[in-house]
Amino acid sequence: MGKTFALRRQKILNISPEIQTVENRWPALFLESRVLLWPGDSVYILLQCLEWRICAESHRITNQNLQRLFFAVLDHHTERLLALSWEVQGQMRSFGLWLSAILKTYDEMQSRDVNVRRTAALHCLPALLLESDSEVFKTCKERESRNPGVLIGPVCILAIISDDEDAVSLQPHQVSIIHEDRVVMHSFQSWPDAFLALIGVVYALHLDYPKPMSSSFLFIQQVFLNIDCE
């Protein structure tokens, strides 16, 4: 993938091909996982690990290790984002109601899982910036997941939750990335992993930030990833 980067980047910037064209031309860019055999005490342990091809592509573009940098900065700001959300939820009308719903779910879970905290913070960020995340952070019940209508969207995350779960879920059992009305990546280990891959897709395919959350993505670009606007 590194050897073909210059040609691939030139075509993406100049032609803006459809996602299916990119997938067909460079399928390895969208491989999410591989199986590794790890030797130990004469026993081979089968490990499944994410292979961040999209993040590797973004590294070539930005010269940043997106995965390491993003999660380090997110973890640094998570508690402050959640604390700020608690402080202002009663002052922000409709956005405050959404913050309250996120925080209520987070509080009731009483989870020590770092990905639950990360998910809560990332869901709070758009509301704090007075942006609606409904077109970018999509959630559907399991019984609705086979409906083709749930795939409609230019670029977004689709989280599938159990039929008995509330609309606010910080630990969905399946997460996918949708682009041009089709699933392009799926089977993520957590919602924050999917969000990071979404950022990678935006950079790798030279996409505009989703308009409903443009300020949120710009905040992440400048504060989390320390990438200046061109």
Instruction: Give per-residue pLDDT as tens, 134-184.
Output: 999 998 888 887 776 777 777 889 998 888 887 788 989 889 888 878 887
**Average pLDDT value for residue range 124-132:** 96
Strands 43-50 and 33-40: antiparallel
> Whole-angstrom Cα distance, residue 202 to residue 220?
13
| Amino acid sitting at position 211 | K
> Global pTM?
0.74
The label of the residue with tokens 């969905």 reads 172
Q: Are 156 and 135 in contact (CB under 8 A)?
A: yes
Confidence bin at 197 (pLDDT 50/70/90): confident
> What letter does residue 180 receive in the DSSP assignment?
T
Confidence bin at 40 (pLDDT 50/70/90): very low
Among 24-33, 41-50, 206-215, name the one with the lowest average pLDDT. 41-50
Confidence bin at 218 (pLDDT 50/70/90): very high
Has residue 21 got a pLDDT over 70?
no
> Whole-angstrom Cα distance, residue 208 to residue 68?
23
Has residue 207 got a pLDDT over 70?
yes
| Amino acid sitting at position 186 | H
What pLDDT is stored for residue 206 in this prediction? 74
| 46 or 16: which leads in pLDDT | 16
